[in-house]
Chain A
Amino acid sequence: MEKNSIKRIEKRKDFLRSLCFLSPSLLGVGVFFIVPFGVVVYYSMIDGVGSRNFVFLDNFIKLFHNYSFLEAAKNTLHFSVLAVPLAVILAMVLALMLEARIPFKSQFRTFFLSPMMVPVASVVLIWQVLFDNNGTVNEFLMLFGAERIDWLQSDYGLYVVVFLFLWKNLGYNMILFMAGLANIPKELLEVADVEGASEWYKFFAIKLRYLSPTVLFVTILSLINSFKVFREIYLLTDDYPATLYMLQHFMNNTFKSLDYQKLSAAAVVMALVMVVLIALLFKVEDWFGKDVEG
């Protein structure tokens, strides 16, 4: 009896102590994220900040009939479908290439990582020079008889942004893959070598199996990152690009008109999509956590 109550007091003390250490962060997160997000949810279901009539899903229905929102969502999705598979596969290829015994390995890693450190704003001028109507890429393609394209204003604009996205993100993903490769048991690969397995066999039978959690993790992470693509487009073009109107553009321009209902509804919709994706991420880790230890 006595012992039990001491234990309980000890436990409560521990809880209070943990709260003490956590409180600065919790307070900030509460004030800057949780409470206002609650208000956002509330705003998404009323008809106006002035009148405050509860309309439940009306704002969402309106949002799904809003042309620019649909356009932005479509463009963002289109971008993700193009960029994510490339971001995963190319990063894996880079990581695998750096496994080979080649000279200047660590320098290559540094080079591949370097775009991560370069602010987009700094190199944006060069991208403009490369992809302008009179730009270098066009000059180069015209050598092969291709037509001049105004990349950023055409349907190809998306490819330019995919290129930029890859340039920026491959290094990060590559490091994740390198960490995954380092977790493969060495003995397994040595046995395969002794048995005379080909590089292809080793890749498909051993490496890919051990890398599969990483592949899924990088896929979902890249998907999430692909929603964030905006910076590059904004810096390359402006508030209203011809073909590259993304979700963040929609948000920014709605901010200017201060339409809280539309903004809140859009934020809630995106939060819901993200929660689904993140739940998937957790499921994937649970699933693989049991399968391969890594």
Chain B
Amino acid sequence: MKKKRYFGRFTVFLLCAVFAVLFLLPTVLTFTNSFMSEQELKSNYGVIFDSLQGGYSSEKVNLKFIPDKVTFSQYITGLFKSPDYLIKFWNSVLLVLPIVIFQVAVASVAAYSFTRWRGRIRSGIFFFYVILMLMPYQVTLVPNFLVSKWLGILNTRWAVILPGIFAPFSVFLLTKFMRRIPYSLIESAKVDGAGEWQIFTRICLPQCRSALYSIAILVFIDYWNMVEQPLILLQDADSQPLSVFLSSINSGEIGLAFAMATIYMIPPLLLFLHGEEYLVEGIANSGSVKG
């Protein structure tokens, strides 16, 4: 019996290990390959990127983990010599940071309202927010496009940022966290003569600091990874974020693309390693649509 259990656990461990390798492989390969020299990459993957151009070659592709010779030349090119990539990276930052900051700010005020006062109209609005949150881009992009056109902000950053700020995801999640704050805490503050704004800033916000953090992480990854919105709303290639631009690689610049891809994953990965617990907490709480 005991032996059987042990073997069962060993199998589970082995399965987990297999899954872990599958999950990590693409990320790790991107990272290690970014240190390969352009010639080495060419001899390894040349076949593929030639065939993308229409040519055919029978040479074998050679997936490799460890570069023969580690080189930083791609990073140097990407960061210092060719400003194109760095500008695109900066575009990403300029799009995503305002969205994260203002979405969380707008959401925290709204979530306070949903937490503090309930009524038929307000629960109706909340219900509507949940529906809106679950709508795919195919639905919301058309309205977004029309508004941007009317406001004259199409092809400017605002066309992506403004709808992003008012996306209802944070409102939903934050409301769920805030409703857990003990009511007695709010009540006693009120008895002490605190106004609503004071209750909000002095009690509610400090109480859900970790929630704010986990929501900020979730929103950040979502927008750092965006493709659909800039593709439609920012047709000007110069202002597009790196998440869109990375896919249009040139066969001569595979190495550079690997290096910039690696740089592009650093911010979300750092956030993840730093705040994994918050992230997990945030996801676990999105596990039901009821407020």
Contacts and interface: CB of A to CB of B under 8 A. Distances in A.
A35 B132 CA distance: 13
Q: How large is the interface on A (under 10, 10 to 19, 20 to 34, 35 or more residues)?
A: 35 or more
Contacts of B225: 119-121, 231
A15 interface: yes
Given A17-B196, A25-B166, A119-B264, A274 B136 contact: yes
B283 A176 contact: yes
B257 A125 contact: yes
A67 interface: no
Contacts of B224: 119
Interface string B28-62: 01100100000000000101100100000101110
A197 B57 CA distance: 60
B108 to A, nearest CB: 9
A25 B139 CA distance: 20
A59 interface: no
A22 to B, nearest CB: 4
B138 A115 contact: no
A231 B142 contact: no
B20 A103 contact: no
A264 B171 CA distance: 27
A115 B23 contact: yes
Interface in A30-49: 31-33, 35-37, 39-40
B269 A118 contact: yes
Contacts of B276: 110, 113
A61 interface: no
Given A132-B48, A281-B289, A28 B13 contact: no
Nearest to B61: A134
Contacts of A102: 9, 12-13, 16
Contacts of B86: none
A19 B117 CA distance: 10
Interface in A112-139: 112-130, 132-136, 139
A20 B113 CA distance: 8
Interface residues of B, number: 98
A111 B20 CA distance: 6
Interface stretch (A50-58, A202-210, A245-253): A245-253
Given A114-B24, A118-B27, A278-B131, A37 B143 contact: yes
Contacts of B57: 134
B23 A101 contact: no
Contact of A132 (B24, B61, B247): B61
B121 to A, nearest CB: 8
B134 A119 contact: no
A132 B63 CA distance: 12
A88 to B, nearest CB: 13
Contacts of A224: 134, 136
Nearest to A228: B136
16 contacts: A33-B166, A97-B12, A115-B27, A117-B265, A119-B243, A121-B243, A125-B258, A126-B25, A126-B29, A127-B26, A136-B61, A179-B284, A227-B136, A230-B137, A235-B246, A278-B130
| Closest 9 A/B residue pairs (Cβ) | A28-B166, A36-B143, A21-B113, A25-B110, A179-B284, A18-B117, A122-B261, A121-B246, A123-B26
Interface of B: 8-9, 12-13, 15-16, 19-20, 22-27, 29-30, 33, 45, 47-48, 51, 57, 59-61, 63, 106-107, 109-110, 112-114, 116-117, 119, 122, 125, 129-132, 134-147, 162-163, 165-166, 168, 171, 196, 200, 221, 224-225, 227-228, 231-232, 242-244, 246-247, 249, 254, 257-258, 261-262, 264-265, 268-269, 271-272, 276, 279-280, 283-284, 286-290
